[in-house]
Amino acid sequence: MPASFARPSSNSTPLIVLARDDLDTWKGGQSKRVANWVNASGFSAALGAVLVIPKTSGGIKQVLVGWGRATDRKRGRFHMASAAKKLPKGKYHIESGLNDAELEEAALGWLLSEYNFDRYKSKSTGKARLVAPPSVSAADTEAIAAGEFLTRDLINTPTSDMGPNQLETAFLALGNQFNAKTSVIVGEELLNRNLPMIHAVGRASDQQPRLLDLRWGKASDPTVTLVGKGVCFDTGGLNIKPGSSMGLMKKDMGGAANVMGLANIIMSLKLGVNLRVLVPAVENSISAGAFRPQDILKSRKGLTVEINNTDAEGRLVLADALALADEEKPDLLVSMATLTGAARVALGPDVSPFYTDGDDLAAALSDAGRSANDPVWRMPLWEAYESMIEPSIADLDNAPSGGFAGSITAALFLRRFVEHAHQFVHFDIYGWTPSAKPSRPKGGAFQGGRALLSVIMNHAAK
């Protein structure tokens, strides 16, 4: 079930949010009974701590939520969510202690904390529900949470139930939900439609490769095209991964899941953009028909690519999809992919690196990431590394040797397939939360999407 706020009512329990420095002042204004209860409990307003204060007649009078110190809060995000998990089942409202920006974050964090991937287990029961603060748009916040939940569900589902066939089903369902136009190019038709690298990467699987295409919005609105890597499982191909590296490869369609979640939000909010979503959906499998190291592939754009590692397949399927998208000269072209391990080495699992030549776009994304508690970081499209992606016998190398600058060279590779878009940005996301954090359980992750949403809203406003 999608997360939603509780309806306002007279029986919701007030939450009093208290920073450490404000606790003594607050206690001084309370009855002796309440002050003694707080003192006896040892409540110090530590970040995320919860104290239930009972009524004399029974039941809950109010709940104190610790807000710690400012230095504590800077070390994470969505702190209200950790408090929500500690509350008994019931309905709550935030009565005091937070400004409007903090209320907005608290409300979204609370909804995100309700996520539970229960497809393969018994349903959960009971939870603490929040009444939306008056300053927060309940509908908009619920739409953002719904998009993030879609992304998490898609990534968390194992490939046995989320291969190219099932990803297509989910994609078409998304389009149908919002009356969008959808189309699919499957199997040998990819060759007929000049999408040869998508075909080459996915042809070894018993589920045929395909390109999923969604269009929504008015042709007169600013054009925004989202391209997401949909490698539903990545064995590494003939350059097979070791078992330790293959364990999380159900998440290699995290780029597709993220653009689908973002599209869900855009369409839910009815933003004034002409939206297109492209997902090359494949499984990088092994069979007699698999593409090989040292093969030379010709791309949609006409550039040839020498295959020096079949485990660098994501950039191949993205290249054809980006070239197709670029032909329409969109105002904003976005690529999202779980593309390189090098990005994780550079920035870890939480911070999403992005690449763009547009300084204004980079600044807008950085500002939006901070405002939305969606950390992103600009990485350089370092021109001096262009020679690293140029082999001796083809136009491009899909896996430069040497092991240096892996995320940068992948981004430079993709940029070769974009010429006409007014603005282009590539996100090299992880798509996974390795250990549970407030509002983010272990599993599939929505990364960079809220920062992008802010930028896309500005496009819509123009």
Which sequence positions are flagged as catalytic? 241, 315
Tell which residue, 380, 414, 383, 381, has the closest CA to residue 396. 414
Measured distance CA(157)–CA(160) in Å, rounded:
8
Tell which residue, 131, 134, 94, 128, has the closest CA to residue 114. 128
Give 460's contacts (C-beta < 8 A, 6+ positions apart). Answer: 221, 222, 271, 272, 273
Count CB neighbours of 220 within 10 A: 8
Tell which residue, 356, 354, 332, has the closest CA to residue 458. 332
Would you state the structure tokens that stand for residue 323, as one six-digit string?
């070239």
- Give 271: exposed, middle or buried? Use CB within 10 Å, 0-12, 13-18, 19+: buried
Measured distance CA(189)–CA(202) in Å, rounded:
13
Are 409 and 389 contacting, i.e. CB atoms less than 8 angstroms apart?
Answer: yes
Which amino acid is it at 36? N
Q: Where are the alpha helices (DSSP H) in 98-239?
A: 100-112, 138-156, 164-177, 189-192, 196-202
Are 273 and 259 contacting, i.e. CB atoms less than 8 angstroms apart?
Answer: no
Are 233 and 249 contacting, i.e. CB atoms less than 8 angstroms apart?
Answer: yes
- Cα angle at 168 between 173 and 181, to 5 degrees? 55
Please give the backbone phi and psi of residue 4, each rounded to the nearest 5 degrees, phi first: -150, 155
Are 38 and 184 contacting, i.e. CB atoms less than 8 angstroms apart?
Answer: no
Please give the backbone phi and psi of residue 110, each rounded to the nearest 5 degrees, phi first: -60, -45
